[in-house]
Amino acid sequence: MAEFTMELNDEQKEVRDWLHGFAAEVIRPAAAEWDEREETPWPIIQEAAKLGIYSLDFYAQQFFDPTGLGIPMATEEIFWGDAGIGLSIMGTGLAAVGVLANGTEEQIGTWIPQMYGDANDVKVAAFCSSEPDAGSDVAAMRTRAVYDEAKDEWVLNGTKTWATNGGIANVHVVVAVVDPDLGSKGHASFIVPPATPGLSQGQKFKKHGIRASHTAEVVLEDVRIPGHCLLGGKDKLDERLARARERARSGGERVKNAAMATFEASRPAVGAMAVGTARAAYEEALEYARTRTQFGRPIIDNQGVAFQLADMRTQIDAARLLVWRASWMASTGRKFESAEGSMSKLYASEVAKKVTAQAVQILGGNGFTREYPVERMHRDAAIYTIFEGTSEIQRLVIARTLSGMPIR
């Protein structure tokens, strides 16, 4: 079992520098254009695929890094380039985590390759959990999955919202209710294969930030999928539901639902996204403060600016350490006894919002224009305290974990 370390090994440093080069040379120059276009940057994704960055092999290599630092290190560098393009490149990973967290080995081997495609025909995937009336309140989910035993098929009906790559994805991973009496314990995850009849894209959202990432509703109308598309299989689901019913009767321990298992595994990665954006804004502000002169001297000579930059760097480093700790814990099989995954996501996302706002302030009027990237970074950072569990939900998870109370 890997010991925790704050020092990247030579191989990790090589990958980090390679990704940083891609972010600096390919992502950064294209960021403003795709933000304005509000379209999926397919040429950038394809370039990433040609280099092996957008691929199952690369994702698996980083995911199974024994130190746990592969994914957060890679994510930080990509999002240092740009958050919108970064999410277009890395967004498929959430669906992949959904399969890894809940699927069988056969399902993992079958579906994750189809999420990425190849360098000549890139694909994306979507994880569909949130609904118009069920975001943080997963127990309010209404999308239903009903088993047709005669045909060994599941029939899905409902509407999902806020789905990254929703409607344009090759593979959709959908969380649905199979037993409404069990609330959030009666959920399961399903694969909706490519070109399945009944699945369509609803509204595409025009967003405040991360505008190069496609976000839309996914509508499911009598979507029929084979029985083997239930992640984990029917036997495992039946056993889990039986345990949930028994515990509900006896008032025993909670049973983790399918969406929570995915979010729990992905929260440190979201923290890494936030660290990347915060670091990018800090570096822009630092360079500006060094070169911008007022009253005959660089503005970094002013204590008010210098102290802000000192706090920004300190908070970014602290956020990264929380992310790395949670990633290492997850990789080495340690339980989040104090909700360390939520801690990392909470702190890093709040730091990103604060640091990007400070960067805009340091650049003054220039920071408020689209001629400088901190304006875009500030808009992008707003999402980190919202998606995959708001900051308020993270605090609730942390508090309930510390107190021993159940997380509903």
How far is Cα 351 from Cα 250, in angstroms, rounded to an integer?
42
In the residue annotation, 33 being an active-site residue is answered as no
* Close Cβ partners of 254 (under 8 Å, ≥ 6 residues apart): 185, 247, 406, 407, 408
Cβ atoms 331, 2 nearer than 8 A: yes
Calculate the CA 122 to chain-centre distance: 20
Give me the helix-helix angle, 28-37 and 83-90, nearest 10°: 90
How far is Cα 313 from Cα 278, in angstroms, rounded to an integer?
9
Q: Is 211 exposed, middle or buried (0-12, 13-18, 19+ CB in 10 A)?
A: buried
Nearest in space to 173 (alpha carbons), one of 119, 121, 110, 118: 110
Nearest in space to 190 (alpha carbons), one of 141, 150, 117, 135: 141
Which is catalytic among the residues 217, 283, 388, 392?
A: 388
How far is Cα 401 from Cα 306, in angstroms, rounded to an integer?
38
Catalytic residue numbers, as ranges: 388
